[in-house]
Amino acid sequence: MTAPLDVLVVGAGPTGLALGAQLGAHGARFRIVDRCLDRVRESRALAVQPRTLEALAGFGITEELVARGNPTARLCLHLPRRVVRLPLFDIGCDDTPYPFLLFLSQAETERVLGAWLAARDVEVERGTELVRAEREGGLVVCRLRRDGAEETMRARYVVGCDGAHSTVRTQAGIGFEGYAYPQTFLLADLEVDGLEPGSAHTYLTGAGMLFFFPLGEPATWRMLAMRPPGTPVDAEVTTELLQGIVDHWTSDGLVLRDPVWATAFRLHNRGAARYRSGPFFLAGDAAHIHSPAGAQGMNTGIQDALNLGWKLAQVCHGRAPERLLATYESERAPVGRSVRGLTDRAFTVATGHHPLLRLARTRLAPHLAPLVLRSTVLRTRIFRTVSELGIHYRRSPLSLAGTRPPAHGPRAGDRLPDVPRGLQARTSAPGWHLLLTGPPHLWSDERLAPLLRGREDLVTVHRLAAESPWPDVAQGLVRPDGHLGHVARGAHLAGLRAYADQWLPV
Ligand SMILES: Cc1cc2nc3c(=O)[nH]c(=O)nc-3n(C[C@H](O)[C@H](O)[C@H](O)COP(=O)(O)OP(=O)(O)OC[C@H]3O[C@@H](n4cnc5c(N)ncnc54)[C@H](O)[C@@H]3O)c2cc1C
C-alpha cells in the first residue's frame, strides 16, 4: 500500500486554492480535488480586502490581482435628496501597501491562484468528488469518485474547503447551526447607462438597498437588490424585472442592458460547531456562511486557509508539535463568529422592514453619513474592521509577549504592519522571521547561535537598525502567516528561546 498523503484538500474554490498554495509553499505532500469539471466562471465574491492582498503577496500574485482589478477609492451613497461620496479606506490603513478595496471577480482571483499552483506542477484534480471519509488507525481513509470509478486513498489530515454543503463536515459529524434570512436577492452582472463609472453605488430606500459595484469582468457592473415583495419567488430574473426595480427605487434614469449572468438566491447565517474534529478541518464556507455585507466571505475563507496551511505542513514535517494544530480553531473560530455577527447587523439595518429601520435608512442616514465622515475615530474603526487589518490573535496560545513587551508598536498576535514600508515584503518568504531592532552589535551571530541551531531552515533573521516597528530594542518573531508570535523588549533571549522550544522544537 502506498504511504499516506499528508493532506487531502477537498474543494478548489478560493479557500482550497489558497490552502493548496500555502501547503505547497511550505513543502507539504498534498492533493487537491474538486467535483466540478471546470472552475467557476461567474463571479460570486467581487472584492478583495487589504489584509487578503497582504497575505497573498508572499506568493507573488498580489501585483497581478491589483493590475487586473479596480482599486476603487469611494462609495457613492444615494440618499433621497442627495449623493454623499464616502472615501473608502482613506484613513486607518496607512500601515499597509494596499490601502484600498480591490474590486475583482472571484473567478479571476481563483484563476490567478490556480495559475500559481499549475506553475508549480500542482494539479487541481477536477471532476473528482470526495464521497466518504472515515477514520482508521490514526489516518483518514477517503473514497474519491471520478468518471464513475472509485479510488481509496489514505491521508493524515483532510481539510473541507468544500463550501456550504460540505461533505467533509458531514463525514466528520460537525453541526452547522444558524438560520436563513427571509428575503430573496437578485444579482446580475451587466452594463448600466447613467452610473458614474469606477465608484461603488448604494441607493438607500425605505424598501431596502440597491447596490452597483464596479466589477469590470465579465461585465462592467454587478447589481445586487432585494426581490421586491409580491414578485413570485421562482420568477425568472429578467432585465425587465431588474429595470423595474431600478426605476422604482431610483430617479437617476439608469438603463440596464447586456446581462452576462443573473440569478436569485437566499442568504444564510451559519457556523460550524467546531473547525476541527480529529484529523478533519473545515475552512471557508464549510465553516461559516453569512450575508455578503462588507465583502468578508471569500476573504475570511482565504485567511482561514493561510492560517492552517503552514501549521499542517510543519506538523507533517515533524518540525512543530501536534498541538500547533489546535491553534487553528482557537484563532479562526472567533474571527468567523465576529464576521457572522458584523454582517448580520449590517444586513439587518440594510434590509429590515421594521418601521424604525426604514426610518434609519431614509431619514437618519442622510444626517448620520456626514457625521461619520467627519469622525476620524469612527472611520478608522470601520475601515480597520472591514479591511480585516484589525484581525489579531492576541489571546492565542501561540501569541506570547515577553515579560517586558515594547511600550508601543505591534503586539504578539497582531499582524506585522508594513512599517517601515517594505517590511512585509522582506518577511514574506515561507517560514518564520526573526526581527531584531536596536544596535546591531546586540545581535551578534555568536549570541544568536544557540537559538538558531537546528532551526536554520525555519527562521530567517533580520537586523533592523534604523527604522523599526518598535521604538525600543526589541525582538519579534513573525509566523509564516505574517502574525507576530513572540514580541519582547530588550536584548535578553531567554523568552524567545522558551517560545522557540515550545513551538519550533529541534
Ligand atoms: C450569489 C453569491 C454572491 C456572493 N457575493 C459575495 C461577495 O460579494 N463577497 C464575498 O466575500 N463573498 C461573496 N459570496 C461568498 C463567496 O462566494 C464565498 O465565501 C466563497 O466562494 C467561499 O469559498 P470556498 O472556497 O470556501 O467555497 P466555494 O467557493 O463554495 O468552493 C467549494 C468547492 O468545493 C467543491 N466541492 C464541494 N463538495 C465537494 C466534494 N464532496 N468533493 C469535491 N469537491 C467538492 C465545489 O465544487 C466547489 O468548487 C457570494 C456567494 C454567492 C453564492
Residue 323 lies in a domain: yes
157 and 287, same domain (yes or no): yes
DSSP H or E run through 210 = strand 208-214
Residue 198 lies in a domain: no
330 and 458, same domain (yes or no): no
Cβ of residue 160 lying under 6 Å from some atom of ligand 1: no
Domain that residue 456 falls in: 400-503
Give residue 120 CA to ligand 1 midpoint distance, Å.
24
Residue 144 lies in a domain: yes
Cell 467535483 locates to 35
113 and 21, same domain (yes or no): yes
274 and 160, same domain (yes or no): yes
Q: Which of 345, 363, 379 is the last residue of a domain?
A: 345
| The total number of structural domains that make up the chain | 2
Q: Which of 305, 329, 345 is the last residue of a domain?
A: 345
Residue 378 lies in a domain: no
Give residue 164 CA to ligand 1 midpoint distance, Å.
7
Residue minimizing CA distance to atom 53 of ligand 1: 44
Residue 369 lies in a domain: no
Listed in sequence order, the residues at least 6 apart from 363 whose beta carbon sits closer than 8 Å to its beta carbon are: none
Residue minimizing CA distance to atom 39 of ligand 1: 162
Cβ of residue 388 lying under 6 Å from some atom of ligand 1: no
Residue 416 lies in a domain: yes
Listed in sequence order, the residues at least 6 apart from 241 whose beta carbon sits closer than 8 Å to its beta carbon are: 186, 231, 235
Rounded-to-integer distance, Cα 170 and Cα 353, Å = 35
310-340 pLDDT, tens digit per residue, is 999 999 999 999 999 999 999 999 999 999 9
Cell 487586473 locates to 68
Give strand pairing partners of 141. 134, 154
Cβ of residue 284 lying under 6 Å from some atom of ligand 1: yes
Shortest-distance atom of ligand 1 to CA 128: 43
Shortest-distance atom of ligand 1 to CA 185: 1
Contact 28, 20 (CB under 8 A): no
484 and 408, same domain (yes or no): yes
402-439 pLDDT, tens digit per residue, is 878 888 999 999 999 999 999 999 999 999 999 999 99
49-53, 188-192, 238-242, 263-267: which range is least confident on average? 263-267
pLDDT mean over 485-490: 95
24 and 167, same domain (yes or no): yes
Residue of 38, 43, 102, 106 to test ligand 1 pocket, by largest number of atoms within 8 Å of CB: 106
Q: 3-class SS at 159?
A: strand
Residue minimizing CA distance to atom 11 of ligand 1: 297
420 and 306, same domain (yes or no): no
Average pLDDT, the chain: 91
Q: Which of 300, 316, 345 is the last residue of a domain?
A: 345
Cβ of residue 10 lying under 6 Å from some atom of ligand 1: yes
44 and 158, same domain (yes or no): yes
Cβ of residue 115 lying under 6 Å from some atom of ligand 1: no
Residue 464 lies in a domain: yes
List the CATH number of the domain containing 479. 3.40.30.120
Residue of 41, 52, 298, 303 to test ligand 1 pocket, by largest number of atoms within 8 Å of CB: 298
332 and 432, same domain (yes or no): no
pLDDT mean over 370-382: 77
Residue 312 lies in a domain: yes
CA-derived radius of gyration, the chain: 24
406 and 341, same domain (yes or no): no
In the prediction, which pLDDT does 48 show? 95
Give residue 41 CA to ligand 1 midpoint distance, Å.
12
For residue 366, pLDDT over 80 is answered with: no
123 and 30, same domain (yes or no): yes
313 and 414, same domain (yes or no): no
List the CATH number of the domain containing 171. 3.50.50.60
